[in-house]
Amino acid sequence: MSKEESRPSDAKKVCKDFPKFINFSQLCRYTATTEECVQFGQKWGLFPKSCLCPSCGDILDKVHFSRRGNSTQARFRCSKRACRKYISITKNTWFEGAKVSFRKSLFLAYCFVNRSSYDTAIRETSGPRFDDCETSTKTVADLYSYCREVIFESLYCSDEVRQIGGANFCVEVDEAKFGKRKFNRGRVANGQWVFGGICRETKECFLVPVQDRTQETLVNLIKKHVAPGTIIRSDCFKSNECLEREGFRHLTIKHSENFGDRHTSAYTNIVESTWWAVKKSLCSTHAHTQKQHFAAYLAEYIWHQQNVDTKCKFIQFLKEICKVYPGLDA
Ligand SMILES: [Zn+2]
């Protein structure tokens, strides 16, 4: 750690040389005061650096702090006599309308990213540094679900989808039904169908809940999530034509086994263990009982898969927030 970094009071200097990753104690230092919290948020694009006065159109870039009850408000202010306008810095941001302080939201997001248990999250975000109050289980649940929504929006609702595979890469696609089995055996009665694929070489994957499993739906999903030219291995398609028309090479799994592919059995294990991991992850959170949250939990699973480097995860998450909530500056 450099000398510069260890001077928490000099927030401007700290912001100038932000590291590529942030651990818990660094986050504590960067957000020691409300002013530093705002600087931190502006540095990472979570808050706008300025806004226009809705009355006179002047650029307002000075943040005004005022204490209200237990919390501090941070607002842009137009001090012109005719305007007297205040615009909250959280307007149009992920933090708008949050019932807890910016600092607490940020630390709960940190806990979410690091997959902390509710108990840990409560312990790490309670006390004098955090609004002087104990974090409730409901607060953690709410914040975790807002975090999941950000990831879901970022993964599925933006125009740019990170495609897996590519020329000379092989992606195996498969469909599976998720849901609770009676006494853990037998057929799944009321479940959710999921279509997904895993790249053999990179282990990157996509998973999407589907309403129907027609060839058209599945081909469209492959076109969206898999790069053109990829070798697709699956048993989901009755004929090769529909995929080859779209510029993919299609091999059925049985077909390639017949031709003595020595990797096949090992590879099938990877696919199966991934499905199993997803199921296990979803079942432990009981997401399968709430269909409307299913997609968000799937997105969370994928996001953690795509961001294996735990050191950079939090920064990556801040970037996802900015992507979904560009704020006033954009
Ligand atoms: Zn004004």
State mean pLDDT over 172-177: 81
What are the sequence ranges of the domains in the chain? Answer: 170-289
Query: What's the angle, vertex CA 96, arms to CA 40 and CA 144, rounded to 5?
Result: 80
Share of the chain above pLDDT 90, in %: 33
What distance separates the 2 farthest-apart alpha carbons in the chain? 82
Distance CA 81, CA 83 (A): 6
More confidently predicted of 280 and 62: 62
- What's the confidence (pLDDT) of residue 3? 40
Ligand 1 midpoint to CA 86 (Å): 9
Distance CA 311, CA 211 (A): 36
Ligand 1 midpoint to CA 202 (Å): 54
| Four-residue CA torsion sign, 19, 21, 25, 27 | positive
Torsion angle (degrees, nearest 10) of CA 125, 129, 135, 141: -50
Ligand 1 midpoint to CA 60 (Å): 8
Model confidence at 51: pLDDT above 80:
yes
- What's the confidence (pLDDT) of residue 267? 52
Contacts of 15 (CB under 8 A, 6+ apart): 30, 39, 40, 43
Structure tokens at 22: 């942030």
Ligand 1 midpoint to CA 44 (Å): 27
Ligand 1 midpoint to CA 36 (Å): 26
Q: Which helix (H) or strand (E) holds 232?
A: strand 231-233
If we measure between CA atoms, which residue out of 253, 257, 243 comes closest to residue 174? 253
- What's the confidence (pLDDT) of residue 152? 86
Model confidence at 186: pLDDT above 60:
no
CATH fold of 170-289, please? Nucleotidyltransferase; domain 5 (3.30.420)
State mean pLDDT over 199-215: 84
Task: Grade residue 127 by pLDDT with cuts at 50, 70 and 90.
Answer: confident
State mean pLDDT over 70-81: 88
Give exposure, 123-142, as e/b (b: 16+ Cβ within 10 Å).
ebbbeeebbeeebeeebbeb
List the single range of 5-19, 203-217, 290-304 with lowest mean pLDDT.
5-19
Ligand 1 midpoint to CA 81 (Å): 8
Structure tokens at 318: 């801040």
Neighbours of ion ligand 1 (CB under 5 A): 53, 55-56, 78, 80, 83
Share of the chain above pLDDT 70, in %: 78
Concatenated DSSP letters of 90-106? TTTSTTTT-SS-HHHHH
